[in-house]
Amino acid sequence: MGNSVKTVLLLGGLSALLLAIGELLGGSGGLMVAFVIALIMNFGSYWFSDKIVLRMYRAQEVGPDHPLSRVVARLTQRAGLPMPRVYVIPTLSPNAFATGRNPQHAAVAATEGILRLLDEQELEGVLAHELSHVKHRDILISSIAATLAATIMMVARMAQFAAFFGGGRDDDRGGSNPIALLATVIFAPLAAVLIQAAISRSREFSADAGGAGIAGSPYGLVNALKKIEVASKQVPLEANPATAHMFIIKPFSVSGLLSIFSTHPPTEQRIRALLHLA
């Protein structure tokens, strides 16, 4: 199954889960209030994402003569994209991300550590991956997923308060089901987080493939991922968990059962998929 199809199905799953909760609880008013609140929060973040995250990591904009800008300019021409703003993040931990609400308002940032670590072909692979995120509007997709997931969590929290105070709706079917209410409170937020993480992982695979196409070869990104995986453990990035999904590699490692909540696929899986493209 293609990653784009998988993303659509997962977003559909989030929407279906939200509708099912609304039907179960019957609180259409509360459901709408939660959705509007989540919409305002997440699309406010979406609209100003570039300014927020760049300021968070103290990113410094660089001019067209900087080596990073020259590589980005070359890749944007190949990808048929407008030239984004280019930033360097003052940390030795190797990583990179792209942000911005659309290709006309995009920014690409790379850490000093990644510029020191990678050769030009490897850096091209990383930046092409980030430009693929821009080209396919992954910031918008992640914002939609975050809005749906946040709404589900808010509605589940409302149900939790209703259960705590002995509330719940009384309707023509004889009232609310306490077991269904408890299951909603426990499992709906968990399912939302799992689906949201799966959407993020799907977009990472798509960006890897798209980046390989822009760069003209998957090998630069393959070698870069190997180097970054090792070096980022030696010099970890102090990242906000809310922005972890944006980076080329997750800033902090997740293993075992917790990996199902990870916003990134295991690096070995990404490398295998890239080599399969070759």
**How far is C-alpha 37 from the geometric centre of its chain's CA atoms?**
20
Burial 23-35 (b: 16+ CB within 10 A, else e): ebbebeebbeebb
130 carries an active-site annotation:
yes
Contact partners, residue 125, CB within 8 Å, separation at least 6: 211, 212, 215, 217, 218, 219, 220, 221, 222, 223, 224
Only one residue has tokens 């609140």, namely 37
> In angstroms, rounded to a whole number, what is the distance separating the alpha carbons of residues 81 and 86?
14
Q: Cα separation of 74 and 107, whole Å?
A: 15
d(CA 72, CA 84): 8
One-letter amino acid for residue 171 of the chain: D
Taking the C-alpha atoms of residue 107 and residue 73, their distance in angstroms, rounded to an integer, is 12
How far lies 188's CA from each of 2, 152, 196, in Å? 26, 7, 12
d(Cα 223, Cα 124) in Å, to the nearest integer? 11
Among left, alpha and beta (phi > 0; psi -120 to 50; other), residue 175 is left
Query: Which position has the token pair 């690096």?
Result: 267
Active-site residue, from 122, 124, 130, 204: 130
Q: Which residues are catalytic?
A: 130
